[in-house]
A and B are shown apart, each in its own frame.
Chain A
Amino acid sequence: MYAYLIRRILATIPVMAVVAVFVFSLLFLSPGDPAAIIAGDLATADDIARIRERLGLNEPFLVQFGKWVFNLMRGDLGVSIFSNLPVSKLMLQRLEPTLMLTSTTLVIAICAAVPMGVIAAWKAGTFIDRGVMLFAVLGFSFPSFVLGYLLIYTFSIKLEVLPVQGYTSISKGFGPFLNNIILPSLTLGMVQAALVARMTRTSVLEVLAEDYIRTAHAKGLATHKVLIGHALKNAAVPIVTIIGVSFALLIGGAIITESVFAIPGLGRLTVDAILRRDYPIIQGVILVFSGAYVLVNLAVDIIYTFLDPRIRF
């Protein structure tokens, strides 16, 4: 058990190292002189030279990388070219909305999708099953920005029950927070829910054909106990896996959703940084998102051990 955990934690180190190398090289991989890219189209030769100096671009690559990693370890992600503020500070300011948006989305998506998938599997072949599958196909193929605007149009403009845009911190009360977060979460969660519902259905359907499900029925258990206590627990590993894997989709989706709903989160910061070619911020954001992805999948691996004893031993 502990050996497995330690192995899994150690395995994240090379992954993060590769990410770090990639992120650092970003500046150098893009065509042209990094300093010129950062300086922008209107920069003079002087500006470019200054930027070179400031970023230490005159030093050898390995020295630059070493310094960069060293600073990274101390939580120093560099300074924004545009605002001259530390990247870590800028990101910290934007962290809460994104964190709340993604976690609310995950909770909503999972709470909706898992029961849907279980019921679809239980009622396989019926119109309930077909309805869920239709939702899964539509939810996955419907562009989220279109869905976002549709939701805004319906709930904010026509029905006027929810705010059009913006974000309210949860520290200002759960009600206002929820009011603002619900539409973005639905928008962002649709793809997730579609994926998870589909995987749940497939996985549970497969498990329902197992001999031990027949045993559970033969014991006299009620259907819901068989479905939840016996089938779902066995079906959980692929479901948790897809939740972990689709976390990447969630991050990508968050960037779009934050733009549609004008949420001042990391996604917006990213979009702005890209438009301004604010490389240190782009690097910082990629690092944080990759780190989050790795952490989520580490959590998934740990959850496996609770779901399936065969992995634990």
Chain B
Amino acid sequence: MVQATQTMTRPDPGSGGAERVLEIENLKTHFFTRDGVVRAVDGVSYHVLKGETLGVVGESGCGKSVSALSVLRLIAKPGRIVQGSIKMSGRNLLDLSDREMRSIRGNDISMIFQEPMTSLNPVLTLGRQIAETIMLHQGLSKKDAWDKSVEMLKLVRIPEAERRVTEYPFQMSGGMRQRVMIAMALSCNPKVLLADEPTTALDVTIQAQILHLMLELKEKLGTAIVLITHDLGVVAETCQRIVVMYAGKKVEEATADELFERPLHPYTVGLMKSVPRLDRAAVEEQARLMEIPGMVPSLKNMPPGCAFAPRCVFATERCRIEEPGFEMKAGGHFAACFNSDKVAETYHG
């Protein structure tokens, strides 16, 4: 049973007092593999405000998916959450029993995945898959849950929802399937929707449609979205706040406007340079994240000091010895860099 939730409203200094619906603190998720410990998420903290869209960006392998899966406690062996807390309505999800946790999944927090082609069960009808969630969490009868499924399909604008609901995933395109995933994820009015690269696998034209659909439904249902992506272009258009991750750690956090205006971490600058923005010159359009010189360091044996140092043009002797702390550099703008002043100077005069 879901407990009667005592809403511990904690006003947020930089955000007009909006309630924090999810608060991740110092989360560490490690994979204990045969050849060493992979520190996929290594001390990440972020919070999600009620009804906002939070962007989590970073290169492939920086721990975005693992941190999201950790929130739902869906990390499989050899992975384990070794430290931290994940709070929702004052409760630490890491302290809940499996049963209590199941009543959160798909209900208070739901998730959609990158791969729409494989994330739906191929042998069950769409209706069955959506209705299952609704019956589980809202205790509706089969008939009512089925009706609600049709309603949800209509909400995500699937044409002929009454007929489609009896069909199977293989009868639909990737974009349609992702709509179905969204319908399923939103069917129980979650407080938080974790969207893990929801549009990456789709055609560019479909990407925009799906993004807009998500944002529209977010407004309608008051769901907060954590939009995980490696595409800064996407977050620029959609998010109020942005968290930048690098090698399992958070390196920068600010409002979207502030971040794009005045990035304070060299890594963020690198990301922006390599990503097309609507207002940027078309020359850069083809460039992608991968093109920051150098590689993400092996998460198994991180060098001492700043993890970005081997790839950083601003790196000094100190960066290779000491790890920069994650500090507030300006009102509501945080970064983990010794030389963020220089970064700011270089890029913003």
Contact = CB atoms under 8 A, between A and B. Distances in A.
Interface of A: 210-212, 214-222, 229-230, 233-234, 307-310, 313
Contacts of A220: 102-107, 133, 136-137
A80 B107 CA distance: 71
Given A217-B74, A218-B110, A219-B105, A233 B123 contact: yes
A313 B123 CA distance: 12
Contact of B119 (A211, A221, A222, A229): A211
A219 B74 CA distance: 11
A249 to B, nearest CB: 28
Contact of A211 (B113, B136, B170, B171): B113
B251 interface: no
A229 B115 CA distance: 21
A222 B133 CA distance: 11
Contacts of B121: 212, 215-216, 230, 233-234
A202 to B, nearest CB: 18
B151 interface: no
Question: Helix, strand, loop or mixed for chain A's interface?
Answer: helix
Interface of B: 72, 74, 102-107, 110-111, 113, 115, 118-124, 132-133, 136-137, 168, 170-171, 181, 184
A212 B168 contact: no
A221 B107 CA distance: 11
Contacts of A219: 105-106, 110, 132-133, 136, 184
A212 B106 CA distance: 14
A215 B114 CA distance: 11
Contact of B136 (A221, A233, A309): A221
Given A218-B110, A234-B122, A309 B170 contact: yes
Contacts of B119: 211-212, 214-215
A222 B113 contact: no
Given A215-B113, A218-B72, A233-B124, 17 more contacts: A210-B118, A211-B113, A212-B120, A214-B74, A215-B121, A218-B105, A218-B106, A219-B105, A219-B136, A229-B132, A230-B121, A230-B124, A234-B123, A309-B122, A309-B168, A309-B170, A313-B171
Contacts of B123: 233-234, 307-310
A211 B74 CA distance: 12
A148 B193 CA distance: 59
Contact of B170 (A216, A233, A307, A310): A310
A212 B122 contact: yes
Contacts of B115: 211
A238 to B, nearest CB: 13
Contacts of B102: 220-222
27 contacts: A210-B118, A211-B113, A211-B119, A212-B119, A214-B74, A215-B120, A215-B181, A217-B74, A218-B110, A219-B105, A219-B106, A220-B105, A220-B133, A220-B137, A221-B106, A222-B102, A229-B124, A229-B132, A230-B121, A233-B123, A307-B123, A308-B123, A309-B122, A309-B123, A309-B168, A309-B170, A310-B123
A221 B136 CA distance: 8
- Greatest chain B CB density within 10 A among A214, A218, A221, A307 is at A218
Contacts of A210: 118
Given A214-B113, A309-B123, A310-B168, A221 B74 contact: no
A168 to B, nearest CB: 42
Contacts of B110: 218-219
Contacts of A221: 102, 106, 132, 136
Contacts of A309: 122-123, 168, 170
B184 to A, nearest CB: 7
Nearest to B137: A220
Contacts of B118: 210-212
A210 B121 CA distance: 9
Given A220-B104, A220-B105, A221-B136, A310 B122 contact: yes
A285 B137 CA distance: 57
For the complex of A and B, 7 pairs with smallest distance between CB atoms: A220-B105, A219-B106, A220-B106, A211-B118, A212-B121, A220-B102, A309-B168
B159 to A, nearest CB: 20
A264 B318 CA distance: 90
A217 B73 CA distance: 10
A213 B51 CA distance: 28
Nearest to B104: A220
Contacts of A307: 123
A217 B136 CA distance: 12
Contact of B111 (A218, A222, A229, A308): A218
B74 A218 contact: yes
A233 B125 CA distance: 13
A233 B132 CA distance: 15
A221 B184 CA distance: 13
A211 B116 CA distance: 9
Contacts of A218: 72, 74, 105-106, 110-111
A230 B74 CA distance: 17
A310 B104 CA distance: 33
Nearest to B169: A212
Contacts of A308: 122-123
A307 B168 CA distance: 12
Contacts of B106: 218-221
A19 B123 CA distance: 36
